[in-house]
């Protein structure tokens, strides 16, 4: 163990980076950053049939979007380290702590069926342990696997930095395969060799790995290396207490980007899944790094609440810089068919609308108020621009045209004059005005949106829908 803190996040590239993986990566990254240590991203790609380069790229893209930078470049990959695993397996074979096993898949499945029929826990029975294999002739043409010789008795345990003391009886653990016949390591062996070589000091991972830990600790001891400190963080469940799935809103990290969430909001929310700092709900990345510790990681499962994430995103959008939001919204606006060149400055629109929207997608949709087709549906026009409202709108258009100051206060004053003149309440004017100018019955503050839309566009739309042209 070195004095330096070294953590790692080691995803398998068999799909998108999900919420649980991203939360684990965040905790590993923050712990290393707080202690001035090293954060390693490692790609565990030994599941050759399911691993893809596209998934590797998505992992990189997801972590970059969250701004969780890694310190070893390029990230190490297990399939590039096969000779090292074979070397470590040979070390265990030479020391008598591993052995070759020639049992076929069919043979092992038959063994498990027999054990299940006897209501026993399915497990390897050690039939190819050296003392049990005396006199046996290895079957011809069979490429053996290498099995780790687990200790027969005693206790294997550790003090988990989240869960506290945990112990397992060695008698409960069978001899696991550590190297397949093709020379590719299994998970429990590859992770130990990698963590040894990369000098990992703190192994922070989901608590679904608790049952793997005693096996890995025994392999560490067999290789003559002290294990790292372990911290198993709680699972993430849906709001109904069931295992998190897509029906709870659990999707890949990049889908939150595509749905219009800000990365700092997503990061803030993930940080609160199983960890807390007093009552703090909203905090910066710098604050999180300064506060993060394992003592305040909960023992209980966290619950993922999509509504809470959306609320948090809205809070971040309220204070986001208008030019940044404009850059994020522009491509979304164009996908909706908006014409940013045919309306007011996008930054100004962001400043007006951002407090009303909870994602970049809804912000883009609202911005179409200024950049999209403002033609009201025929039924809406007939309902609201009537014989009763049309004279009022014409009166207002005349007042607007006479304005020398096209600002919210001046526009608001003109509206009030027309209301007083016709002795009507605001809805009787505001709703027909919105329909005629914006093609909808609701908008943000009327004077503000008219000021942003501009004199020329406002008067042209009023004229077109009040029969002045």
Q: What b-and-e string marks burial along 137-162, b requiring 16 or more CB atoms within 10 Å of the CB? A: eeeeeeebbbbbbbeeeeebebebbb
Q: What is the mean pLDDT of residues 49-70?
A: 96
**For residue 21, what are its two tokens?**
């993986």
Q: Per this entry, what is the length of the chain?
A: 469
Selecting among 136, 246, 318, 416, the annotated active-site residue is: 246
308-366 residue pLDDT tens: 999 999 999 999 999 999 999 999 999 999 999 888 999 999 999 999 999 999 999 99
Percentage of the chain exceeding pLDDT 70: 98
Look at residue 101 and give its three-state secondary structure.
strand
374-425 residue pLDDT tens: 788 889 989 999 999 999 999 999 999 999 999 999 999 999 999 999 999 9
pLDDT at 1 over 50: no
The Cβ of residue 215 has, within 10 Å, a number of other Cβ atoms equal to 22
Query: Could you confirm whether domain 378-466 is CATH 3.10.129.10?
Result: no
**For residue 320, what are its two tokens?**
């986001």
CA distances from 140 to 84, 103, 190, 192, 464 (A): 27, 12, 28, 32, 90
Taking the domains of the chain in order of start, what are their residue ranges?
Answer: 81-233, 320-373, 378-466
Per-residue pLDDT at 342: 84
Beta-carbon-side half-sphere exposure of residue 92 (alpha carbons within 13 Å): 26
The Cβ of residue 416 has, within 10 Å, a number of other Cβ atoms equal to 12
Q: Please, what is the average pLDDT of the chain? A: 94
Per-residue pLDDT at 66: 97
Per-residue pLDDT at 293: 96
Q: Which of 381, 319, 383 is nearest to 351 (CA)?
A: 319
Residue 277 phi/psi, 5° resolution? -130, 90
Q: Which residues pair with 275 in a beta bridge?
A: 297
DSSP alpha helices (H): ranges in 372-424?
A: 378-384, 390-402, 408-422
Look at residue 396 and give its three-state secondary structure.
helix
pLDDT at 3 over 90: no
Look at residue 40 and give its three-state secondary structure.
strand
Q: Which of 130, 80, 60 is nearest to 102 (CA)?
A: 130
> How far is the C-alpha of 236 from the C-alpha of 304, rounded, in Å?
6
Are 42 and 198 in contact by the 8 Å Cβ rule? The answer is yes
Task: For residue 423, indicate whether it is catalytic.
Answer: no
Identify the CATH number of the domain defined by range 81-233.
Answer: 3.40.50.620
137-188 residue pLDDT tens: 999 888 999 999 999 999 999 999 999 999 999 999 999 999 999 999 999 9
Percentage of the chain exceeding pLDDT 90: 88
């Amino acid at each position: 163990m070195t004095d330096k803190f070294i953590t790692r996040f080691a995803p398998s590239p068999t799909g998108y980076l999900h919420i649980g993986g991203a939360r684990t990566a965040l905790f590993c990254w923050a712990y290393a950053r707080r202690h001035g240590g090293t954060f390693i991203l490692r790609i565990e790609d030994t599941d050759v049939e399911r691993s893809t380069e596209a998934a590797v790229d998505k992992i990189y893209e997801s972590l970059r979007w969250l701004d969780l930078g890694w310190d070893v470049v390029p990230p190490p990959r297990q399939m590039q380290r096969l000779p090292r695993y074979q070397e470590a397996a040979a070390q265990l074979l030479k020391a008598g702590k591993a052995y070759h096993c020639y049992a076929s898949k069919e043979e092992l499945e038959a063994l498990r069926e027999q054990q299940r029929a006897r209501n026993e826990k399915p497990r390897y029975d050690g039939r190819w342990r050296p003392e049990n294999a005396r006199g046996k002739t290895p079957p011809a043409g069979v490429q053996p696997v290498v099995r780790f010789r687990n200790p027969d008795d005693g206790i294997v345990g550790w003090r988990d930095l989240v869960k506290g003391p945990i112990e397992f009886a060695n008698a409960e653990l069978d001899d696991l395969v550590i190297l397949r016949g093709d020379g590719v390591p299994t998970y429990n062996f590859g992770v130990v060799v990698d963590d040894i070589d990369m000098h990992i000091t703190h192994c922070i991972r989901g608590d679904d790995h608790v049952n793997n830990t005693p096996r890995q600790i025994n392999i560490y001891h067999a290789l003559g290396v002290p294990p790292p400190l372990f911290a198993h963080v709680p699972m993430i469940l849906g709001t109904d207490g069931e295992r998190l799935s897509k029906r709870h809103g659990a999707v890949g990290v990049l889908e939150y980007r595509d749905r219009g969430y800000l990365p700092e909001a997503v990061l803030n929310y993930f940080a609160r899944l199983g960890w807390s700092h007093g009552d703090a709900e909203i905090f910066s990345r710098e604050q999180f790094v300064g506060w993060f510790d394992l003592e305040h990681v909960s023992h209980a499962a966290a619950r993922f609440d999509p509504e809470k994430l959306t609320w948090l995103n809205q809070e971040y959008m309220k204070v986001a810089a208008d030019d940044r939001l404009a850059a994020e919204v522009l491509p979304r606006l164009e996908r909706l068919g908006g014409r940013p060149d045919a309306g007011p400055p996008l930054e100004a629109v962001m400043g007006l609308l951002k407090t009303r929207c909870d994602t970049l997608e809804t912000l883009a949709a609202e911005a179409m108020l200024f950049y999209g087709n403002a033609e009201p549906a025929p039924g809406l026009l007939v309902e609201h621009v009537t014989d009763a409202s049309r004279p009022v709108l014409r009166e207002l258009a005349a007042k607007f045209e006479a304005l020398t100051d096209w600002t919210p206060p001046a526009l608001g004053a003109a509206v009030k004059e027309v209301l007083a003149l016709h002795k009507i309440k605001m809805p009787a004017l505001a709703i027909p005005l919105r329909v005629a100018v914006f093609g909808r019955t609701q908008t943000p503050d009327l004077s503000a949106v008219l000021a942003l839309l501009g004199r020329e566009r406002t008067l042209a739309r009023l004229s077109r829908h009040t029969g002045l042209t």
